[in-house]
Amino acid sequence: MTRPDDDLIAVLTTALRTADPVPARVLHAARGAYTWRTIDAELAELVFDSASELTGVRSEDQARQVTFQAPGIEIEVMVVDGSTRRIVGQLVPAQESTIELTGADRAVATTSDDLGRFTFDEVLPGPVRISVVGDGNTPTVHTDWVLL
Amino acid sequence: MEAHELLSRVVAGDERAWNELVGRFAGLVWSVARSFRLSSAATDDVVQTVWLRLAEHCGRIREPDRLASWLATTTRNESLRVIRGNVRLTPQDAFDETSDLTASSIEDRVTDDDTLRAVLKAFAQLSADDQALLRLLCAVPPLDYETIAETLGRPIGSIGPTRARCLERLRRLLPSGYDPKEGLR
């Protein structure tokens, strides 16, 4: 590592920050992210995503599969490509619950059936999370935010 | 205040600490996301996903002193998801003039500083790989080589030598008489 190299990095750093700064809209949204924080809910962490698997065939023709896990519950989600891009989900173990899909500016709700299956007709755009709403005895479980 | 102190205030519910954290690390997250050359809409959504993820995970980060690395890794993972996952992005105004983020357009968007213009023009002529490495090397606060290597999917031992060669290529694209200290003469 030489001084001229460090000097050039310093100039380029200034140049990139001047030409390509973090847009105000991005900063504004980032500050607002804190208001989505949940305190008394369980977090189901993203444990599998077929889109981040490096192995195997590029799965353009296959539905994307994503799995979230919290203590005692797993939420499996399949995004079915096509004109509408539906979400087909499965709770493990199966349970009937209110399920919410939350995006930046709206949320939609449905109910899982007695086999734990649920469907949303379309993916909301941008970062979303899925919530299994608690019933008083069990806490609400939110998944990690994810782009689907 | 150290990052881990800021983070523990955030966990305790201090929104001002969150805003300070965003102010301090927003440039870093942006640099990493931009190194993947996503569309403007995809870049915005990746970055916002990272901040939402942090807001939810801030109490679970195992090494709070390595928050920069956590943010970089999360940004990388979300960027790859977007590249491979055919995700549904937040629609953007088609006439948003910042939408065109291709490297070749960058130097047109600034600046009347001749030195910066020259450096940006040279940067825009570099290969995608070189640009990605330089963006990570220019992140503020700086990323360690381990994180840069992980982000690029390259061995850590290659980063130092690649950095030197990459800067040499950048230097060759600069006008003669350029001196990073003095600017253009």
Q: What is the pLDDT of residues B41-54, one digit of tens each?
A: 999 999 999 999 99
Checking if the pLDDT of B177 tops 90, the result is: no
- For residue B95, name the pLDDT band (cuts at 50, 70, 90): very low
Tens digits of residue pLDDT in B153-162 = 999 999 999 9
In this complex, do B180 and A8 lie within 8 Å of one another by their Cβ atoms?
yes
The predicted pLDDT at position B94 comes to 54
**CA B120 from centre of chain:** 16
**CA B64 from centre of chain:** 20
The predicted pLDDT at position A62 comes to 73
CA distance B129 to chain A (A): 16
Q: Which of B49, B111, B180 sits opposite A4 (nearest CB)?
A: B180
Whole-prediction pTM value? 0.91
Better pLDDT: A53 or A138 = A138
In this complex, do A33 and B123 lie within 8 Å of one another by their Cβ atoms?
no
The predicted pLDDT at position B87 comes to 87
The predicted pLDDT at position A71 comes to 94
In this complex, do B106 and A20 lie within 8 Å of one another by their Cβ atoms?
yes
Contact A121, A86 (CB under 8 A): yes
In this complex, do A29 and B138 lie within 8 Å of one another by their Cβ atoms?
no
Checking if the pLDDT of A55 tops 60, the result is: no
From CA B146, how far away is CA B32, in angstroms rounded? 14
Contact B75, B47 (CB under 8 A): yes
In this complex, do A64 and B18 lie within 8 Å of one another by their Cβ atoms?
no
In this complex, do A148 and B86 lie within 8 Å of one another by their Cβ atoms?
no
CA distance B108 to chain A (A): 8
Better pLDDT: A75 or B89 = A75
> Half-sphere exposure (CA, 13 Å, Cβ side) for B180?
21
The predicted pLDDT at position B99 comes to 45
Contacts of A119 (CB under 8 A, 6+ apart): A86, A87, A88, A89, A110
The stretch B52-57 carries a mean pLDDT of 95
Checking if the pLDDT of A15 tops 60, the result is: yes
The stretch B51-66 carries a mean pLDDT of 91
The predicted pLDDT at position A14 comes to 94
In this complex, do B90 and A19 lie within 8 Å of one another by their Cβ atoms?
no
Q: Give the burial string for B93-110 (b: 16+ CB within 10 Å, else e).
A: eeeeebeebebeebbeeb
The predicted pLDDT at position B64 comes to 85
Q: What percentage of chain B reaches a pLDDT higher than 90?
A: 69
Q: Which of B53, B111, B167 sits opposite A19 (nearest CB)?
A: B111
Question: Residue B85: closest CA among chain A residues belongs to which residue?
Answer: A51
ipTM above 0.90, yes or no: yes
Contact B17, B24 (CB under 8 A): no
Checking if the pLDDT of A64 tops 60, the result is: yes
Tens digits of residue pLDDT in B107-164 = 556 666 788 889 999 999 999 999 999 999 999 999 999 999 999 999 999 999 999 9
- For residue A43, name the pLDDT band (cuts at 50, 70, 90): very high
Better pLDDT: B185 or A27 = A27
The predicted pLDDT at position A72 comes to 93
Checking if the pLDDT of B76 tops 80, the result is: yes
Contact A99, A118 (CB under 8 A): yes
In this complex, do A16 and B98 lie within 8 Å of one another by their Cβ atoms?
no
* φ and ψ at residue A138, rounded to 5 degrees: -115, 145
CA distance A119 to chain B (A): 17
Checking if the pLDDT of B23 tops 90, the result is: yes
Which H helix or E strand runs over B79? helix B67-85
Q: Which of A7, A26, A144 sits opposite B56 (nearest CB)?
A: A144
Checking if the pLDDT of B182 tops 70, the result is: no
Number of Cβ within a 10 Å radius of residue A26: 21
The residue among A18, A34, A124, A128 with the most chain B CBs within 10 A of its CB, best to mutate, is: A34
Checking if the pLDDT of A78 tops 70, the result is: yes
Q: Which of B58, B91, B140 sits opposite A125 (nearest CB)?
A: B91
Checking if the pLDDT of B103 tops 70, the result is: no
